[in-house]
Amino acid sequence: MSKFERALDNAFERRKKELGRAPTLDEAETLRQQLFQEWLVSERFDDLINYIHWYYTDEGGFGDCSILSEALRKKSDLQRIERLFKKLISVRTAQFWRTWPKAKEGHIGAMRDSSKFMATAIEAYAGLWHGYWSLDDEAGKDRVRSEMLQFQERIKPTSGKRRRI
What is the Rg, in whole angstroms, of the alpha carbon atoms belonging to the chain? 18
Rounded CA separation 87/96 (Å): 14
Single-letter residue type at 105: E
Alpha-carbon dihedral sign for residues 14, 17, 19, 23:
positive
Summarize pLDDT for 14-33 with one digit per residue, the tens.
999 999 999 999 999 999 99
Closest among 153, 79, 78, 76 to 122, alpha carbons compared: 153
Summarize pLDDT for 34-83 with one digit per residue, the tens.
999 999 999 999 999 999 999 998 888 889 999 999 999 999 999 999 99
- Please give the average per-residue pLDDT across 2-7, as a whole number: 91
Residue 11 and residue 46 in contact, taking contact as beta carbons nearer than 8 Å? no
Residue 16 and residue 22 in contact, taking contact as beta carbons nearer than 8 Å? yes
Closest among 33, 64, 71 to 50, alpha carbons compared: 64
Average pLDDT, the chain: 92
Residue 125 and residue 86 in contact, taking contact as beta carbons nearer than 8 Å? no
Q: In the prediction, which pLDDT does 106 show?
A: 95
Q: Domain limits of the chain?
A: 77-165
